[in-house]
Amino acid sequence: MSFLQYQKSSPNFLNEFLKYKRFIEFGAETTVDQLYFDLRTLLRYIKLYLYDKEKLKTITREEFKNIDISDVTITDLRKINSFDLENYIIFLADKLQNEFKTRNRKLSSCKRFFEYLYVNNLINSNPSKRLTTARIEKRIPKYLDLKESKKLLSVTINSEQVYKIRNYAITCIFLNCSIRLSELTGINLSDIKIDKSEKTIRIHGKGNKERLLYLNAAVCEAIKAYIEVRPKLGKEYKDYNALFLSARNKRISNRTVETIIKENLSKTIDDNQDLKDYKTHTLRHSSVSLLYNENNVDIFVLKRILGHKSLDATQIYTHVSNKKMKEIMMNCTISSIIEKMEEN
């Protein structure tokens, strides 16, 4: 759900902050929605902390979820100091049982919020300025090897799922194009060009940034097969241009895709492996791993394919040619790797 749906139940200063992040800074919709949920938690805590501190000791998670924040004021926020925010982080751990990663994210949201309020002269000082997030050891992301990737494709197309042709196209794009979940569900028919002169897909990435990716034969065939069975919608339908549709002829949701991938992954990975660590993002990691490990693809080319925002200011990144990226993506993909192995 979009943060815009919660405007009536949120204080105006929160709405203005979220609109600024979404429409002025062009933040991704999913990012701004997450900001809303994080800050709603913060404001619920502040309301209790200021007006019913004893309740913080006994409140249940369900009771906490029902706290109304519409009456929280800027004056309330001006009363908060860094010590209060440290207590908030403790509350997240003890009462809400948030893990390190979640607490760090919520603290980051808190810092961005208070910085905005301070810069816009809504508060006199920034209580979050001196707070730092805890350092967390980065885990190596889970990914499928070549054998497992091939098996996942086979499991998907040979399944008894009603929409297996659509689901196969989704999986094929994930494994060959290295895109994010939100990028996949955001693909439109008008973003795809599959003809003799051009085989590309335009991806709408984070911060409304676009990038052009090149399609190999396997992906083109999967997309064509799906388009043949995809419902033909007129322009009176809101999502007539969406590539992937749900059973209700609406743009497929992130959650639906997650369910599809999860179900097929459960039939792909070994029984003794922990399924909760395998998600749609696993396929993005798998695609990158196959490109890098099997084909020794230059890391800077990979970062461009992935659309990593951090490389915008990197000089060497700008020197990666479209010609090289096109050659890599069309010839060094999971399908070509499989073909080479079968030939040998």
142, 308, 324, 326: the catalytic one is: 308
284 noted as active-site residue: yes
Closest CA to 230 of 258, 216, 251, 210: 251
Q: Judge whether 131 lies within some domain.
A: no
180, 199, 251, 304: the catalytic one is: 180
Residue 179 and residue 108 in one domain = no
Q: Judge whether 33 lies within some domain.
A: yes
Residue 67 and residue 197 in one domain = no
The model's pTM is 0.59
pLDDT of residue 125: 95
Show which of 73, 103, 119 is a domain's final residue: 119
Q: Judge whether 141 lies within some domain.
A: no
User: What is the identity of the amino acid at 334?
Assistant: I
308 noted as active-site residue: yes
Residue 155 and residue 97 in one domain = no
281, 285, 324, 326: the catalytic one is: 281
State which residues form the domain around 84.
3-119
206 noted as active-site residue: yes
103, 150, 284, 304: the catalytic one is: 284
Residue 109 and residue 171 in one domain = no
Residue 188 and residue 309 in one domain = yes
3-state secondary structure of 188: strand
pLDDT of 336 over the 60 cut? yes
Q: Judge whether 175 lies within some domain.
A: yes
Residue 97 and residue 153 in one domain = no
Give tens-digit pLDDT for 147-176: 999 999 999 999 999 999 999 999 999 999
Give tens-digit pLDDT for 289-304: 777 665 555 556 666 7
Look at the chain and report how many structural domains it folds into: 2
pLDDT of 315 over the 60 cut? no
Residue 323 and residue 242 in one domain = yes
User: What is the identity of the amino acid at 9?
Assistant: S
CB atoms within 10 A of CB 308: 14
For residue 292, give the CATH number of its domain. 1.10.443.10
Where is average pLDDT lowest: 25-34, 65-74, 254-263? 25-34
Residue 100 and residue 212 in one domain = no
3-state secondary structure of 203: strand
Q: Judge whether 238 lies within some domain.
A: yes
Q: Judge whether 35 lies within some domain.
A: yes
Residue 244 and residue 180 in one domain = yes
Residue 223 and residue 330 in one domain = yes
Give tens-digit pLDDT for 123-153: 999 999 988 766 555 565 678 888 999 999 9
How far is the CA of 327 from the CAs of 158, 196, 236, 302, 321, in angstroms?
Answer: 31, 16, 39, 13, 10
Q: Judge whether 127 lies within some domain.
A: no
180 noted as active-site residue: yes
20, 211, 317, 324: the catalytic one is: 317
Residue 161 and residue 99 in one domain = no
Residue 114 and residue 153 in one domain = no
C-beta of residue 199 within 8 angstroms of C-beta of residue 193: yes
C-beta of residue 91 within 8 angstroms of C-beta of residue 45: yes
**Residue 194: strand pairing partners:** 199
Strands 199-204, 192-194: pairing kind = antiparallel
Q: What span, in angstroms and rounded, lies between the C-alpha atoms of 114 and 107? A: 11
Q: What span, in angstroms and rounded, lies between the C-alpha atoms of 168 and 179? A: 15
Show which of 68, 84, 119 is a domain's final residue: 119
